[in-house]
Every structure is written in structure tokens, then in C-alpha cells.
């Protein structure tokens, strides 16, 4: 076991220690020397701190106190939402890599890691399929009044006419606009290929117009304004604040259009969207994310009859957590063998290491 890499793993309310244990049994070249826990076991109480960290960085929250000592002798650090700040990395005397089981890097001080020559590998694909599946579910649920019908049927009410009576359409024959063509957006596009859409439009400021997946999934690359004006369904799949939808953007959409948000609530003008829905300037919308979670009794979207709401379950499947550690270790093994890993936050770290 002399050649095993000493590994510190940090679990949390979402990423259970058992997921790490099951994974590492299949990777004998790694030895878990410390298994720590970050935060509380209550998922709801963790949401606000995590959202705050996503906006303000890894110094917002403190990692487990034991991690400062544990990291001194570690070769590998694997986390999920646990913050990894500059003070912690200063204690890492032999750390070879930081592996994070999420797509976003807001909980990692990537700049500090890069200065110290520590590569950071993340896993943007860990929940991509689960979010893509929920996106399609919310599209159909809102357009076909599934949630509203279910609520009425559970009260023994047979209701056939809703706000979109006479205007219920299928995804087939519709124009779907995807804002953000990353791991999730691409999976939505791939899944839409079996729905016989009229067109699938894509906007992403970081993706070239000749990206091969656009042709592969039958998508048309357009500017944001064109996407909003022409789409019957608009679905948001970006993380960056550099793409925020304001009132003028929602005003561009067709009155018959639907809007789906499984991304981030702060990336849209929620007041403007609420007013457009209330005033029937949009046909409907579906949400998995909200400005305040859990939602409160005065949540505006909950007062409307043309919305479908789910409680931030987009990336919450057993698969997206339990499968991620193995995917990261596989990528790091590729890197150790001289290959380029699929997701790499700071390739320049190796230059810093010299």
C-alpha cells in the first residue's frame, strides 16, 4: 500500500460518506485517511448558505475545523459543497489535486490552487442528465396542465379547462429555445431529438456557432433576441451572471410562449416575469429554483394559475451523487497517465508547479 494516494473526503447532506466508501473500494490506489463532514444533515438549512457561497465565494463559509490538519498530509482532497479557501490550501504540503463533485467552482479558491500548482478537477456532468430530464418533465407538465389536473383530481374535481384552454400544444411542432449549451443544455437538445420539434434554437455566448453538437442534435445557433422572439418554449441552462434575463427580454417573448428555469433564480428578473405571467403576456412558466428557498407563503409564483413549481429537485437523484466520485477518480487517473481530463478548471496549475 506504499504507493496509495492518501485521500481526504468531505461529505455533506447531499453527498453521503457511503457514496465515497463504495466508490473507493473499486479504486485501491487511493486510501481514505480522513472522512469528514461539512455543514448540517438538514438539506433545507444548507440551501441558503450554499447559495450565498455560490455568489460570494469560498471565504463565505468555514470548512470543518479538522480539515486544516487533515489536509497537511493529503495527496488528494475530494469535496462536494465544502469550501476550499486559501487558508486551507496554505496548509496543504503535498496535495496533488482537488476533486469536486459538482459543476460549479464557487466553493473552491481556484486562483489560490493555481498559484500553488494544485490542479482542480470538477464534474459539470454529475447532475446534467437529471436536470435535463426534469426540464422536459416541467415543459410537459406546464403545457399539458399535469400538476394542476393532479391537484384537482386529488380533491375529486374534474376540471378540463385551464388558462390555456384552446391553446394546448405539443412539443412536437414547437420551436424550443435553449439558453446555455453546456452539459445540461446539450442533453436537453439530445433528448428533444425524439420529440419532432419544428426547430431547436440555441444561444450561448461561450459556444462557437460551428460547435459539432449543434448539427448533431439538429440545433440552430442564433442570437439571444432571435431565440426569445421565435421560441414557443424557452429553457434556461446557464450559471454565469453574464447572461441575465431582464424585463426587456421577457417582453420579447410571444404571449403564447412558456419559460422554464432549472438553472439559477438570480439569473432572471423574477418580478418582471411574475408580472408578465400575471398579466397574460406569457402563457406559462415552470420553475425548480426560487429567490428564497424554501418558498414562503407570499411566494408570487405560487399565486398564479399558469405556473408549475418543483422544489429544487433538478439535480437531486441518487445517480448524480453516487456516480460522481468514480467519474472524478477516473478523470484524475487519466491525468496521471498523461492524458487530458474531461473537465479541468485550471490547466495552468501544472505550469505554476513547475
Q: Are strands 233-236 and 175-179 parallel, antiparallel or unpaired?
A: parallel
Distance (Å, whole) CA 267 – CA 148: 26
| Catalytic site residue from 17, 115, 220, 293 | 293
Is 264 among the residues known to form the active site? yes
What are the angstrom distances between the C-alpha of 337 and each of 71, 133, 332, 334, 340? Answer: 24, 34, 9, 5, 9
Contact call for residues 295 and 30 (beta carbons, < 8 A):
no
Helix (H) or strand (E) run with residue 177 in it:
strand 175-179
Active site residue 312: yes
C-alpha span between 258 and 283 (Å, rounded): 6
DSSP 8-state secondary structure symbol assigned to residue 56: H
The enclosing H or E element of 97 equals: strand 97-100
Instruction: Pick the catalytic residue from 142, 186, 264, 299.
Output: 264
Q: Which of 51, 102, 249, 312 is catalytic?
A: 312
CA dihedral sign of residues 59, 62, 66, 67: negative
The Cβ-side half-sphere exposure at 305, using a 13 Å CA radius, reads 8
Nearest-angstrom CA–CA distance, 236 and 184: 10
> How many other C-beta atoms can be found within 10 angstroms of the C-beta atom of residue 179?
25
Write out the catalytic residue numbers: 264, 293, 312
Amino acid at each position: 500500500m506504499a504507493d496509495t494516494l492518501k485521500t481526504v473526503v468531505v461529505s455533506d447532506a447531499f453527498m453521503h460518506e457511503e457514496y465515497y466508501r463504495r466508490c473507493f473500494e473499486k479504486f485501491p490506489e487511493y486510501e481514505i485517511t480522513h472522512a469528514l463532514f461539512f455543514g448540517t444533515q438538514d438539506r433545507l438549512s444548507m440551501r441558503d448558505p450554499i447559495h450565498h457561497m455560490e455568489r460570494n465565494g469560498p471565504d463565505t463559509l468555514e470548512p470543518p475545523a479538522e480539515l486544516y490538519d487533515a489536509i497537511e498530509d493529503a495527496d488528494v482532497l475530494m469535496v462536494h459543497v465544502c469550501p476550499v479557501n486559501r487558508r486551507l490550501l496554505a496548509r496543504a504540503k503535498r496535495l496533488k489535486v482537488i476533486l469536486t463533485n459538482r459543476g460549479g467552482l464557487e466553493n473552491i479558491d481556484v486562483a489560490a490552487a493555481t498559484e500553488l500548482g494544485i490542479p482542480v478537477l470538477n464534474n459539470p456532468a454529475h447532475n446534467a442528465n437529471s436536470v435535463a430530464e426534469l426540464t422536459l418533465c416541467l415543459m410537459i407538465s406546464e403545457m399539458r396542465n399535469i400538476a394542476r389536473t393532479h391537484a384537482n383530481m386529488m380533491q375529486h374535481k374534474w376540471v378540463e379547462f385551464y388558462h390555456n384552454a384552446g391553446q394546448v400544444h405539443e412539443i412536437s411542432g414547437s420551436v424550443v429555445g435553449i439558453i446555455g449549451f453546456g452539459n445540461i443544455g446539450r442533453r436537453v437538445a439530445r433528448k428533444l431529438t425524439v420529440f419532432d420539434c419544428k426547430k431547436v434554437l440555441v444561444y450561448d455566448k461561450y459556444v462557437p456557432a460551428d460547435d459539432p453538437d449543434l448539427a448533431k442534435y439538429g440545433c440552430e445557433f442564433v442570437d439571444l433576441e432571435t431565440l426569445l422572439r421565435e421560441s414557443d418554449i424557452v429553457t434556461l441552462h446557464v450559471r454565469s451572471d453574464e447572461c441575465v434575463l431582464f424585463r426587456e427580454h421577457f417582453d420579447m417573448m410571444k404571449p403564447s410562449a412558456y419559460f422554464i428555469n432549472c438553472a439559477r433564480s438570480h439569473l432572471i428578473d423574477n418580478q418582471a416575469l411574475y408580472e408578465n405571467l400575471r398579466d397574460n403576456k406569457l402563457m406559462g412558466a415552470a420553475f425548480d429554483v426560487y429567490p428564497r428557498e424554501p418558498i414562503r407563503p407570499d411566494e408570487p409564483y405560487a399565486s398564479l394559475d399558469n405556473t408549475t413549481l418543483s422544489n429544487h429537485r433538478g439535480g437531486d437523484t441518487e445517480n448524480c451523487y453516487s456516480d460522481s466520485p468514480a467519474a472524478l477518480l477516473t478523470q484524475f487517473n487519466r491525468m496521471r497517465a498523461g492524458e487530458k481530463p474531461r473537465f479541468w478548471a485550471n490547466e495552468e496549475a501544472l505550469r505554476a508547479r513547475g
